[in-house]
Every structure is written in structure tokens, then in C-alpha cells.
Amino acid sequence: MINVGEYSRSLTMLQAVLKVNDEKGVRLNRLSTGKEINRAEDDSASLSIATKLESRIRGQAQALANIESAQGMLTIKEQNLSTVQELLLKMREKATQGANDTLDSQARGLINQELQSLAGEITTVLTTATYGDVSLDTSTAFSFQVDEGSTSTYIVENSDSGPQTLEFGTLNEGIASWDSATGTGYIMYTEEDIYSRFGANPGFNTADNLVAVVNQGGQWYWSAWGGLTAFTPTSSDRLLAEVDFDADTAQNLEGVDTEIEGIGAGYESGDLVVTPNQFGNPPAASPDDFYVQGTSVVVPPSTLADELTFSTSELDVSTASLAQALIGSVETALETVSSEIQELGGYQQILSLKNELLNRRMISSSQSKSRIEDSDFAREQVELAKLDILQNAGFSALAQSVTDSGLILQLLDI
């Protein structure tokens, strides 16, 4: 039966065709972008999750780049330490050569020159070691961002020890010094108490960790009531005040950070008070002695370059016994460098593990995001083929509907 209501069926068919066209457009959009979710209206919840995963993936990618940069930095540091280790081994060879009594003074002089050159090169290698503009010697520690989280940092401690507090210990009556001392001297902190270190009584009831010292011709002497006795400085020694035995004055080295003949000098802050020509409690006049007050000072950080600095007296191989003493100093330095390389290897191993773990996490995040967001091309192609059939069928039905409407007009002779 043909009636005017055929027009309403035409509208229904038109709506079906339009719906198929819209759905086909969505499928084509998914194929062209490769994403199943292109707008919030597609799936707002899934889009939110996919966006968070994208943020995580980008953060992890940058963290991977950070780890690789950190590994590059530590590799450069390791190469520098290996160079220093080789230089120390050469110094040990020369010191061993100097410990032989078959050498004359000229040969020993040549060995000393070579030792000076090697020691200077060690300092140069360490103090000029950089990664970009970042010093690998003076930085206290390095912090690396090794994941996308705000707290995901990995701290690599440098050989720099950081600021240190030197406790004076028991001060007793003060610092006893040789009455005949002249010229410039220093008040020195020694980590080991003076009775254990110097093996002799420097004076009755004196301070445990502070002593008066002088330097003559590159050789250090500690000054006690009985006179001057030579000693070899250690890396923990620190000169805290400069004294003038002739003028009877003392000047604290606060705000100073330098080195004097192989001993670090100066401190950042503290409560040290040194009074010349006084001794006892209560203090009384006592020539060339020192009454000391205070508890501690804070010294600047010591770097590996500081620890591996050799004084002029240490490099003296003018006698076999001095050369033997240098062998001991070089062996201590070698142990320090070996320890640094070993510690560095541990840091590098941890960074490699973090690199591997982060790679796995980033792959997992990418896979999760892909499952949520990416198009299934096979499915979309199948759906598109189905929509093509529906679209063609809809157009045919719509065309037939228009033909039927024309027949009605012919019957009415319009």
C-alpha cells in the first residue's frame, strides 16, 4: 500500500544513514590518529587515566636520561681516579728507588724533582676534574632524580667530607712550649692526643689535642718544654692560630682556608681564644706558653685533592729513611684512592639497577596506556567494512523511498 506516511519512513531512513555516517567518521578518526579515545566525550574516565600514564611515562623517560647522565659523570670521576692511582704507583716506584743507599745526592735530587712533578699532576687532575661546569672534587654530594616521583632521588656522596667540627678535648693548664722558640709558629689541632702521638711528655698537664708547632726549612717540629721535635703531618692536622714567639702575639686563623707546608690552616667559626705567655688555671705569666679557652672550631670541607697533597718535607728523599717514610705515605694515599674507586663502583652498580628497573616500569606504563588509548586496527577495519555495507544499504533504501514519493505525486497528477 502506498500512502503519504511513506515520507515519515524516509526520515527514519535518513536518520539511520546519518548515524552510520557519524559512526564511520569516528572509526576513520580512530584509524587516522591511532587512538581510540580522541575526546573527553569518547570516554572521560579512560582519558583521565591515559593522561596520567602519559605524564608518568614522560617523567620516567627523563629520569632514564638523568641516570645515563649520572653514569657518565661517575665514569669520568672513575677515569680521573684511575689516573691518580697510576700516578701514585709511579711515586711509589720512585720512593722505593730512593730508599736504596746506592744513590748519590744528585740522583736523589732528580728523583725528588720527579716526585714533585707527579704530586703536582695529582693535584691538577683532581682539582680540574669537571662534568660540564660541575666540579667532581669540591662538591659535597650529588643528587640524581632517578624516577618521576618528587622524592625519587639518589644521593652519591663525594670524597668531600663536608664541614667538620674539631673538638679541643681537655685543655688542662694550656699549651706548653719551648722557652727558646723564636720566629713564627702555630697552634695546631691534632686528632690523636699529643701523649699518644708524640710519645713524650710535652709539658706538665697540657692540652690533649692542641700543640705549638713551627716549620723550619720545610720540616715541621712540635714545640714542648724540652725543645723542638720533628714530626710528620697527617691529613687530620689543622693550624688554628699563628703565633709570633718574638712579639708574644697570637692571631686566630678564623675565616682562613689555606695550606701551609702540607698542613691545612684556618677554620670557618669557633670559640678559640689563645693568650700568649700565660699558663695554668688561673693563668699566670709563663714565657712562650699559651693559655687556651674554647671548646671547638668548624673547619671547611676537605676534598680528595686535599687528602692527597704531599708536603715538601714528605717528598724529601735525600736519605733512604726519608724515602721509606714516603713509601708509607704513598701507600696510605693508594688505599684512599682504592677505597674511593670501590665506593664509586657500588654507586655505579646501583644506578645500573635503577636504570634496568625504570626501563621495565616505563614499558609497563606504556603498555597500560596503549591498552586504554590506542586503536585496535583490525577491529576498526572490520567495523568500517560493516558500516560501509550499512551506508550503501541505507542510501539504496533512501533512494527507493524518494522513488515511492514520486509515484504518489504521479497518482495525484501533480
- The sign one gets for the Cα dihedral 17, 19, 24, 29 is positive
The rounded distance, in Å, linking the Cα atoms of 197 and 177 is 16
Whether residue 5 is contained in a domain is answered as no
* Residues 140 and 186 occupy one common structural domain: no
pLDDT given at position 267: 93
Whether residue 332 is contained in a domain is answered as yes
Whether residue 23 is contained in a domain is answered as no
Residue 299 corresponds to which cell in the numbers above? 673547619
Whether residue 2 is contained in a domain is answered as no
At 294, phi and psi to the nearest 5?
125, 175
Whether residue 150 is contained in a domain is answered as yes
The rounded distance, in Å, linking the Cα atoms of 76 and 87 is 17
- Asked whether the beta carbons of 380 and 30 are under 8 A apart, the reply is yes
pLDDT given at position 291: 92
At 151, phi and psi to the nearest 5?
-105, 10
Whether residue 87 is contained in a domain is answered as yes
Could you tell me the residue range of the domain that residue 265 belongs to?
Answer: 164-300
Whether residue 406 is contained in a domain is answered as no
* Residues 77 and 190 occupy one common structural domain: no
Q: Given its phi and psi angles, is residue 285 left (phi above 0), alpha (psi -120 to 50 degrees) or beta?
A: beta
* Residues 278 and 174 occupy one common structural domain: yes
DSSP 363-402: HHHHHHHHHHHB--HHHHHHHHHHHHHHHHHHHHHHHHHH
Q: Using DSSP, state whether 180 is helix, strand or coil.
A: coil
- Asked whether the beta carbons of 248 and 277 are under 8 A apart, the reply is yes
Element (H, E) at 212: strand 210-216
Domain harbouring 128, CATH code: 1.20.1330.10
Residue 162: closest CA among 52, 268, 295: 268
* Residues 132 and 201 occupy one common structural domain: no
* Residues 132 and 177 occupy one common structural domain: no
Please name the residue that has the C-alpha cell 723542638.
228
Mean pLDDT by 10 residues, the chain (414 residues): 55 69 66 68 76 86 90 91 95 93 91 93 89 78 80 74 82 87 92 81 76 90 85 88 92 91 90 90 81 92 79 86 91 90 90 91 84 67 69 66 58 55
* Residues 105 and 223 occupy one common structural domain: no
pLDDT given at position 121: 94
Residue 30: closest CA among 412, 396, 402, 378: 378
Query: 360 vs 71, 105, 157, 367, 400, CA distance in Å?
Result: 18, 65, 27, 11, 59
The rounded distance, in Å, linking the Cα atoms of 310 and 84 is 13
Domain count, the chain: 2
pLDDT given at position 348: 92
* Residues 79 and 173 occupy one common structural domain: no
Buried b (16+ CB within 10 A) or exposed e, 291-313: bbeeebbebbbbbbbbbbbbbeb
Q: Quote the DSSP letter at residue 149.
A: S
pLDDT given at position 157: 75
Whether residue 235 is contained in a domain is answered as yes
Query: 3 vs 6, 67, 405, CA distance in Å?
Result: 6, 78, 9
